[in-house]
Structure 1
């Protein structure tokens, strides 16, 4: 058994560059077709051996922006703790472990921060307990923790079908640059989905289960054509997020008026993502949004690697 005392892992948040939602399924989930992009905003988890058999967790804010980490549970309902407990059940020589989480991805912001924590915890505990699991095996294990966890392990670009857990890698030929505008509040993902269902019902729209993503998205990413990508962005949850938080519409309009090629709600929101022409434009747009609207804004890029051990 490995004598390593601690392992530090970083895992990325994500943007849903495209998101199609089907009807509610009997199992309580929605069928989706999405394009995930891992971006350069990382959660950090350090797993350290304990001398007893407990799994404990602490959470810190590692972002220059205010993140309300006090509301994150520190018990078995925390997804990173669930990941550690799952890995322990599969390990031949587990010990107790303390997980120290440094948060940088907006909380309840539609960017998969909790899933990134879980992915990082899986990788860290697997290494700590010397399980020998391959990356592919960890991805299969991660699916038990939620649809977004396997992607946080893989990173890059991927098409997600089913409930988002059926992943197929895709290719982006150039760095894509974005400006993220987190909200000072979170949105409940189940509430956003329920609102989307209600809005469709009120409009008399009957959804069918999507079996593919918009090919224009993949074509634009493969070609590295940011203008074509800007024209193809879409999110079926965006109207519901704006219904619950109408102020998001004003910031979306402002971002485009200040030079973004396009903007959308990331996943279930309320984080907003604005596509920029290049890295310099992203940095300048982030500064203008901060100056003009007084909102917190940060430039990021992707695709980036998935969860990995840091030296």
Structure 2
């Protein structure tokens, strides 16, 4: 018996960040778009909790209880009086430590897989509550599609999307710590009046219409100046993508992956080729969104 769940990466088409709260988090207006890069999480009954991982950069994935997949299994088991005795295998295809919610995706995938394997009968509301306990991006990994995240990003409102958007992602050499990027945001905005975060109406309208040009004119990431401050080489990558015809170029989440919105699938391939040839990134990925959230693809038998 085993269950496999496929779960997508995300890009933030808007990441509006408020001032630091007393609890250290920041209020956000975070417009998520799931994209077609997936991890697959398989859970199988075992004598004890065990995690393995394969795929690109698998050596960077923690294989202990700090992994969000392990924490998801433990949290669901605790709620239902079960022992979290499963082997969790993560087949990695989402870039690691790249601002694309790969770890969060694994948490959501493991949660749904364990729920299916154990037959807990947990409601979607309960699963989303557990996701929110695990991390700010985990609920969206379960939901997929497009959504506005408020609070610290975990309070989700699904958004309509009227078409498919083509993306190129450039993977950087090196990583960025999300807490460090937020810390740099706080340093850069110290002494200024940081506005309350809010979704841009024109961006939501562009998503509804499936209008890539209008979306490109609206995308924004308030963490981008902080990411560039800590990782200045990303500026050249962004410039190469723009010169190659990308409609919009931005840092994905807290980085260091950079994201490029293209007008078509053909244009995306051209942008990807230019980025690879430039030597400003170690790899590129081409895909589109929106994509479905965590989905069982191989149920228990």
Q: Which TM-score bucket, shorter chain as reference?
A: over 0.9
Residue 78 (structure 1) aligned to one of 54, 63, 67 = 67
Query: Who is 1:174 aligned against?
Result: 163
Query: Who is 2:256 aligned against?
Result: 270
Residue 54 (structure 2) aligned to one of 51, 60, 64 = 60
Aligned residues: 297
State the Cα deviation string for residues 248-278 of structure 1 (Å, max 9, x = none). Answer: 0011011000110110001100000000001
Unmatched 5+ residue regions in structure 1?
none
State the Cα deviation string for residues 92-119 of structure 1 (Å, max 9, x = none). Answer: 5556101001111121111110000000
Distance in structure 2 (CA, Å) of the matches to 1:135 and 1:272: 32
2:162 is equivalent to residue 162 of structure 1: no
Q: Is the 8 A contact 2:73 2:84 kept in 1?
A: no
Distance in structure 1 (CA, Å) of the matches to 2:84 and 2:71: 15
Report the CA distance shift for 1:93/1:86 in structure 2 as closer, same or farther (over 3 A). closer
2:234 is equivalent to residue 238 of structure 1: no
Q: Is the 8 A contact 1:192 1:241 kept in 2?
A: yes
Match runs of 1:104-115 below 5 Å: 104-115=93-104
TM-align CA RMSD: 1.3
State the Cα deviation string for residues 34-71 of structure 1 (Å, max 9, x = none). Answer: 10000001111100101x2x21101111x4xxx2x323
Q: CA deviation at 1:72?
A: 2.3
Distance in structure 2 (CA, Å) of the matches to 1:245 and 1:148: 23
Q: Is the 8 A contact 1:37 1:302 kept in 2?
A: yes
After TM superposition, what 4+ stretches of structure 1 lie above 4 angstroms from structure 2? 92-95
Q: Is the 8 A contact 1:95 1:129 kept in 2?
A: no
TM-score by length of 2: 0.95
Distance in structure 1 (CA, Å) of the matches to 2:87 and 2:297: 17
Distance in structure 1 (CA, Å) of the matches to 2:255 and 2:223: 8
Q: Which range moved further: 164-173 or 85-94?
A: 85-94
Unmatched 5+ residue regions in structure 2?
none
Distance in structure 2 (CA, Å) of the matches to 1:25 and 1:19: 17
Distance in structure 1 (CA, Å) of the matches to 2:219 and 2:175: 23
Query: Who is 2:296 aligned against?
Result: 309
Q: Is the 8 A contact 1:283 1:298 kept in 2?
A: no
1:193 aligned counterpart, secondary structure? helix
Residue 148 (structure 1) aligned to one of 127, 137, 143 = 137
Distance in structure 2 (CA, Å) of the matches to 1:305 and 1:136: 18
Residue 28 (structure 2) aligned to one of 28, 32, 35 = 32
Distance in structure 2 (CA, Å) of the matches to 1:89 and 1:9: 21
